[in-house]
Structures are given as structure tokens and as C-alpha cells.
Amino acid sequence: MNEAASVMNSLRRLVHGLRVFDRAAERSAGLSGAQLFVLSRLNAGGAASMNEMADRTCTHQSSVSVVVTRLVDHGFARRVTSDQDRRQVRLTITPAGRRILKEAPEAAQDKLIAAVGRLAQPDRLNLARMLEQLVAAAGLSQSPAALFFEDHSHGNRNNNPEKKRKPKSHAR
């Protein structure tokens, strides 16, 4: 097999795994895979600012903000103003958010981040550099690096996850 085919097959496997998770997340929880990933990161790390959530999800603050807004709108997360500094807003998970995570599959993004973390540091650096070169060579450097499968059409298809799921006791 030539190198291009090997790269394409690896990319297909990654995208397929992410897509399968996205569909499973929607079936089990009525949320996108990106929404469950952000919710799981919020749950694992506790209350956080939007910038901290961007760090936890390995994405830009503007990308995670869109997903957080949907989680807040659905009652799975809450924005809380700091008592010490009224300008600072922290995100917290709600009891409904914790309940939904109990039913949800493990986020594919969490698996990918853990897998990258298990690589030796020189390999991680090389992988990052090579992927950046591939993206540049494909002319995609200016494309937004949004969370996987979290686009406007996807976000609109599950306006109310409480109605999409089978009735379970997820009252807020």
C-alpha cells in the first residue's frame, strides 16, 4: 500500500470513529458528540471559565462557547458569576448533565486525546507538525477548527434533546 492510501485509511478510521460516536451520543442522550465531549470535560474537571474549557477540549474559546451555550440552554450546564469577581463567569455541570453522562458513551475525543498523550513527546511533536503540514498542503489552514461534527445544521437538528430521547427522568 502506498503512503497516500495509508494516510487516507487512517484518516477515514478516525473520522468514522468520531461519526459513530456522534450518532451514538445523539441516540443515547439526544446531544451531539461535541456537546457530550464538552459536558464530560466539564464534569471531569469541575467548574471552569470558558478559556479553561477551551483548554480542556483542545479547541478555541469561540468554538467551545457555542457548544456551552447549547448545554446551558438545555439545562445541562450553568453559568455562575463569581462572588469574588463579578466579571468572572464559571461554568458548572447541573444534576441533569451528570445524569445524561451516566447513559452516554465515552467521548471519542477523550479516547483520541488519551491516545495522543500516550505517545512519546517527540512522536507527539512530530504528529502535530506533520498534521499541520498536511492541512496546509491541502489548503485548509484557514478552515475553522471547530469541535468535531458541531456545525450549525447539527446544532439545529437537536433543539430540544429532552424531546429527542426516550422519556427518562432527566428533569432539571
CATH number, residue 95 = 1.10.10.10
Q: Domain count for the chain, please give it.
A: 1
Domain assignment present for 171:
no
Give DSSP secondary structure letters for 53-114.
HHHHTTS-HHHHHHHHHHHHHTTSEEEEE-SS-TT-EEEEE-HHHHHHHHHSPPPHHHHHHH
Coil vs helix vs strand at 131? helix
Q: pLDDT at position 162, please?
A: 43
Q: Answer whether residue 74 is part of any domain.
A: yes
**Residue 104 pLDDT > 60, yes or no?**
yes
pLDDT at 163 over 90: no
User: What CA–CA distances, in Å, run from 103 to 86, 94, 131?
Assistant: 35, 15, 34
Domain assignment present for residue 19? The answer is yes
With respect to residue 126, please indicate whether it lies within any of the assigned structural domains. Answer: no
162 falls within a domain: no
Query: What 8-state DSSP symbol labels residue 159?
Result: S
DSSP designation for 48: B
Instruction: Determine, yes or no, domain membership for 86.
Output: yes
pLDDT at 10: 92
The predicted pLDDT at position 37 comes to 94
pLDDT at 36: 93
The alpha-carbon radius of gyration of the chain (Å, integer) is: 17
Average pLDDT over residues 10-21: 91
- Could you tell me the three cell numbers for 16? 468514522
- Over the range 67-78, which residues count as b (16 or more CB within 10 Å of their CB) and which as e? bbebbeebbbbb
Q: How confident is the model at residue 123 (pLDDT cuts 50, 70, 90)?
A: very high
Q: Within a domain: residue 56?
A: yes
Mean pLDDT of 75-88: 89
In whole angstroms, give the CA distance from residue 19 to residue 14. 9
Confidence (pTM): 0.79
Q: Is residue 77 part of a domain?
A: yes
**Residue 150: domain span:** 13-106+144-156
Q: Which among 150, 29, 157 is positioned nearest to 98, based on CA atoms?
A: 29
